[in-house]
Amino acid sequence: MIQSQWGQGAPYNRATPTLNGEPTYPGCTTLALAQLLNYYRYRDHGVKEVVYAQDNDSLQPNQTEVDLTAVRFDWANMPNSLDGASNREKDTVATFLYWVGVALNVQFDLGDGSPASGKQLENAVRYAFGYNNISRRKMYVALRATGDGFKLYSDAEWYQMVIDELDQGRPVLHMARNQNGDGHAFLIDGYNAGGLVHVNWGWAGHANGYYDLFHLQPRGSESVWNEEAMIYIGLEPEAGFAAAMAPPVEPGDSTAITERGTVAAGEWLYYGPFTTAAGLEVTMAGDGDADLYVRRETRPTSEDFDCRPYEETSNEHCGMDAAGTYYIGVNGYETSSNFTLQIVIR
């Protein structure tokens, strides 16, 4: 399910605070959550402002502040890997990782990285990004065992909990310690017929593959990440949301998505990718004069597009009849425009 293979070193950490002139690491929890948010691509912004101070006075900047309601998550410029990526793509992913770290209230650091607790993760997911924030029964942390080693779930129960999440299309965010007491967060995003689970370790693709859920030892490593294991159950967007990268709908079915935004004159906002089985319809309504663009396979530009209605208002429509992957662009023409997009994926 998770296609991204992001890491913590350069260029992924080019937006984090610096310590003695060196960029700090986003942290493994930040990496895991960021890749999960990128999988769903639920919103193009967060739902709260985050302000806190770093404990280490030597960090620059020391005051960490991001208004997640005002920033925009530029999904179209977040490739699965930064190998060979453009500077814009590198900056976009690195900045997104920084924002996620701030939402987690991470204390940025060097060496072993920047840790975040399970509670920090829950608060960020629920209150900073607006995921399933209505009911705690629908989204919660499950602990494998108590602090003294008493198992709260049998092996069969624990395995089935993970499989049930995967069967619902929800990658599982897994946190655990190794035999030395070090902590790590990573993603389980699939399983095979042999009962092994697929792990994305958050190391830019290194050691990703299938493993025994009860012996999570990355290839080439002596660490086994199973102590004090905890997983997230029900971590998904609010009810009714369809992930843009979900499997294509069957012909005859359709999925509707609504996006709202404000675009300044000369500014571009992008949405997608949207994968379709039989095309899509995009209807834009609003004030001012925003221009709608749709393009297959890659984001549109003012010169390269598959649909551009050329209306003198923000009320425009594009209908695409072929199956494929589409990107939507909204460009501000002469004035700032408020708009609503109705996207129907067939």
> Which class for 88: exposed (0-12), middle (13-18), buried (19 or more C-beta within 10 A)?
exposed
Q: Residue 96 in contact with residue 71, Cβ under 8 Å?
A: no
**Of 28, 198, 307, 318, which residue is the catalytic one?**
28
| Closest residue by Cα to residue 293 from 273, 268, 312 | 268
DSSP labels, 306-318: SB----SSS-EEE
**Of 184, 198, 307, 318, which residue is the catalytic one?**
184
| Residue showing tokens 């009714």 | 240
User: Could you confirm whether 198 is annotated as catalytic?
Assistant: no
| Closest residue by Cα to residue 16 from 129, 111, 95 | 95
Cα 303 to Cα 140, 293, 306: the distances in Å are 47, 10, 10
Strands of the sheet containing 227-233, edge to edge, are 140-143, 227-233, 172-177, 183-191, 197-200, 209-211
- Helix%, strand%, coil% for the chain, nearest 5: 15, 30, 50
Q: How far apart are CA 341 and CA 150, in angstroms?
A: 51
| Closest residue by Cα to residue 276 from 308, 306, 321 | 321
User: Could you confirm whether 318 is annotated as catalytic?
Assistant: no
Q: Residue 165: which H helix or E strand, with range?
A: helix 155-167
Q: How far apart are CA 293 and CA 135, in angstroms?
A: 38
Q: How far apart are CA 15 and CA 112, in angstroms?
A: 18
Q: Residue 214 in contact with residue 192, Cβ under 8 Å?
A: no
Catalytic residues: 28, 184
